[in-house]
Amino acid sequence: MHRTREILRQKWLVGRSHREVAASVGVSVGVVCKTVSRAQAAGLNAYAIEQLDDKQLDVRLYGERNLSDPTRPEPDCAWLHHERQKRGVTLELLHLEYLQVYPNGYKYTQFCQRYRRWLKKRRLSMRQVYRAGEKLFVDFAGTRPAYQDPRTGERVEVELFVAVLGASSYTFAKAVWSQRSEDFLQAHVDALEYFGGVPQVLVPDQLRSAVKTPCRYEPEGQREYEDLARHYGAVVIPARPAKPKDKAKVEAGVLVATRWILARLRNETFFSLESLNERIAELLEDLNRRKMKQYGQSRRDRFEVLDADALQSLPERRFEYGRRKTCRVNIDYHVELEGHLYSVPHQLVHEKVETRSTATMVEIFHHGERAASHARGRVRGGHTTDKQHMPKSHRAHAEWSPSRILNWASTVGPRTEELAQTILRSRPHPEMGYRSCLGIIRLERKYGRERLEAACARALALKATSYRHVATTLKNGMETSALPSSEEVPSELRSHQNLRGPGYYS
């Protein structure tokens, strides 16, 4: 409409000839003549043209433009779009069904053009605004890199993990074994350390390693992924299912990584995942330093200006992947994990608990609260026990040791200490004498130290090193009785027909 307005302005306000107007506007004299004739036929003048917008002026000059053919019915594009979402339904099939109802309808080309014209108006995209340090978008590339096993010569395909910061488009890429949780989370750790900071929000696809139960509105996240986000002070907001525009940054990042990293590796051979990642790291630096046409800057330059100072600081300790397992506490207040036993407070016997085990630590949770933590045990069949988890009786028993028993015995007297030492030495294992010594210790409460010391001296003299002898002596009050001497033994007992000496067996 700009040319039309200019033609009429020069004719009616400036008063120029048809040839002068044609030369000025850059059209033919015939176009000038037709435009002036249409305007006069529509009853327009210079003032009326100023009051009309372009669309109204177009209608006044040329009338309503109807692109559709009134003799042919228009297809119902909304219904076509709904039917296309069903499996196996194509535009060609829908056109055949359309012609069955309307034999004089549009041919296939016009049918498709009308549907696509409707679809373009429906597919509106909102331009996303990314704030510095706010979001990190993550995804796996559809094209998988590979290396060659040096032993078998087999081609081993792996996954390419890609992470892109929203504001600067600064990109991280690394090959990992699989999309499993352990590899997925470790790739996040490496990405955050590559960026040197933590964004506020992690935006993954709704893959299994990130989301336990997919949902458009309230997806249920995986516990391990939430643990990682909590460790780094971030939150997880998954993209909606089948909505790639929610993470358009990483979709573009995957495309760029495929073109500028994987495509450049197509003629190179690697013999390990480590060597593959070394080469990817080299190409990644080249990608981030490559100038982008849209901004006239590289991703690295934009990162230093936008995201570098806006990211949160990394924690002192890097995140460790932990496997979770639900188990029940045994009667000995221990839980079994990979053949090793770990203690919990004895009050949790028979309760269900959840364990989280990393390479260095085992944590045990009850109703979401941490009940115990231990260093990771590596001995199958072994046990790791915290004394604070024991009942008082078990703790007291566990605390007894030969040195402790002897220290207590020395407080009673030298004879008591000597008896305790003799008892411990006379057993095949010191712990077998614990009960005898503990029984003797309890006798002090009833009979006192002096009487117990005397009873122990008598037991030593008679070589009766047992709890039962000391208890009988104190019970009968014999600790002060004189010891029997060898002269008091009757002589007939020394020489008796039933007493056979070593000579009998020679």
| DSSP track, 103-146 | TTS--HHHHHHHHHHHHHHH---PPP---TTTEEEEEE-SSPPE
The whole-angstrom separation of Cα 495 and Cα 154 is 93
Highest mean pLDDT among 43-47, 183-187, 483-487, 490-494 belongs to 183-187
Greater pLDDT, 283 or 80: 283
Per-residue confidence (pLDDT) for residue 280, from 0 to 100? 96
Asked if residue 325 has pLDDT above 70, the reply is yes
Whole-angstrom Cα distance, residue 262 to residue 146? 10
Question: What long-range pairs does 358-362 form, CB within 8 A, spacing at least 24?
Answer: 358/320, 358/321, 358/322, 359/320, 360/320, 361/320, 362/337
Whether pLDDT at 61 is above 60: yes
Tokens 């978008």 appear where? 137
Instruction: Please answer whether residues 301 and 188 qualify as being in contact, where contact means their C-beta atoms are separated by less than 8 angstroms.
Output: no
- pLDDT recorded at residue 494: 53
Output the pLDDT for position 491.
Answer: 47
- Label the pairing between strands 361-366 and 235-236: unpaired
- Split at pLDDT 50, 70, 90, the class of 495 is low
What percentage of the chain exceeds 90 in pLDDT?
33
Average pLDDT score over residue span 286-313 = 91
- Confirm if 185 and 319 have CB atoms less than 8 A apart: yes
Closest to 376 (Cα-Cα) out of 319, 323, 317: 323
What whole-number percentage of the chain has pLDDT above 70? 89
In this prediction, residue 236 carries a pLDDT of 94
- Token output for 306: 């936008």
Share the mean pLDDT of the chain: 85
One-letter identity of residue 416: T
Look at the domain 135-307 and name its fold.
Nucleotidyltransferase; domain 5 (3.30.420)
pLDDT given at position 405: 82
**303 has pLDDT over 50:** yes
Average pLDDT (65-77) is 71
**pLDDT level of residue 485 (50, 70, 90 thresholds):** low
Residue 200 class from Cβ within 10 Å (0-12 exposed, 13-18 middle, 19+ buried)? middle
pLDDT reported for residue 125: 60
Question: Rounded mean pLDDT of 113-137?
Answer: 79
Quote the pLDDT of residue 196.
95
The structure tokens listed for 469 are 């002898």
Residue ranges per structural domain of the chain: 2-62, 77-122, 135-307, 323-392, 400-482
CATH architecture of 2-62: Orthogonal Bundle (1.10)
- Over residues 36-49, the mean pLDDT reads 82
69/373 Cα distance (integer angstroms):
78
pLDDT of residue 489: 44
Res 484: pLDDT: 62
When mean pLDDT is compared across 63-77, 102-116, 237-251, the lowest value belongs to 63-77
Q: Is the pLDDT of residue 19 over 50?
A: yes
DSSP tag of 335: E
Confidence grade of residue 345 (pLDDT, cut at 50, 70, 90): very high
The confidence score (pLDDT) of residue 504 equals 66
- Checking if the pLDDT of 123 tops 70, the result is no
Contact status, residue 343 vs residue 256, Cβ threshold 8 Å: no
Q: What is the pLDDT of residue 492?
A: 47
Coil, strand or helix at 480: coil
Q: State how far the Cα of 495 lies from the Cα of 395, in Å rounded to an integer.
A: 55
Q: Dig out the tokens for 465 from the structure.
A: 């090193």
Most confident of 170-184, 210-224, 382-396, 468-482: 170-184
**pLDDT category of residue 436 using cuts at 50, 70 and 90:** confident
Most confident of 54-58, 84-88, 217-221: 217-221
198 secondary structure, DSSP code: B
- Give the pLDDT score at 156: 94
First to last CA, the chain: 141
User: What is the predicted pLDDT for the residue at 466?
Assistant: 86
Q: What mean pLDDT is predicted for residues 88-97?
A: 89
Give residue for tokens 């307005």. 5
> In the predicted model, is pLDDT for residue 117 greater than 80?
yes
Four-CA torsion 64, 69, 73, 79, nearest 10 degrees: -70
Res 329 pLDDT > 50: yes
Residue 462 pLDDT level (bands cut at 50, 70, 90): confident
| 143/49: higher pLDDT | 143
Go through the chain and tell me how many residues it has: 506
pLDDT at position 76 over 80: yes
Phi first, then psi: what are they for 133, rounded to 5°?
Answer: 70, 10
φ, ψ of residue 103 to 5 degrees: the values are: -60, -30
Pairing mode, strands 340-343 and 334-337 = antiparallel
The whole-number pLDDT of residue 493 equals: 46
The predicted-structure confidence for 139-165, as pLDDT tens digits, reads as follows 999 999 999 999 999 999 999 999 999
Spell out the alpha helix ranges (H) of 387-427.
392-399, 402-412, 414-426
- What are 234-279's pLDDT values in tens digits? 999 999 888 888 788 889 999 999 999 999 999 999 999 999 999 9
